Amino acid sequence: MRVFVLIFNAHTENEGIHTIRVGDRNKILMFESEDDALRYALMLEAQDFPTPTVEALDAEEIKEFCESAGYEWEIVPENSDLIIPPELNVEETDWQADSQNEDTIEDTSGFQEAPQESELSDSELDRIRRQLEGLL
């Protein structure tokens, strides 16, 4: 079965799939409808996410990926109630992070958690500020 998922930096070395955090696990949303996936992507963009690309993939491939990565998955039926992205988002994702940065802690979800504010040096704050300004 073909489903639609959201991909950031599609077709690059820095590609990442959109997940939502449920407890301590990540979940990939698989949309049956391309229109529903596009609508969700627009809502993410409105939350200042980078613009994701809607990609059609085989549902079984996504399920296999989820099993290997320890992710959960959910199929969003066509014409179902509108799903709204969570208001809270991870601070920094691994596809945006500087791979040389040792001050962040990578978890098995593929996302990186930002260190506590008290742990950030002035130079680290400046680096993060430059990254955020680069997104504008």
pLDDT, tens digit, 9 for 90 and up, residues 58-91 = 999 999 999 999 999 999 999 887 777 876 554 4
pLDDT at 80: 82
Residue 117 clears pLDDT 60, i.e. is over it: no
**Residue 12 neighbours by CB under 8 Å, 6+ apart:** none
pLDDT, tens digit, 9 for 90 and up, residues 34-63 = 999 999 999 988 888 888 999 999 999 999
The Cα-based distances of 23 to 26, 38, 109 in angstroms read: 8, 25, 12
Residue 6 clears pLDDT 50, i.e. is over it: yes
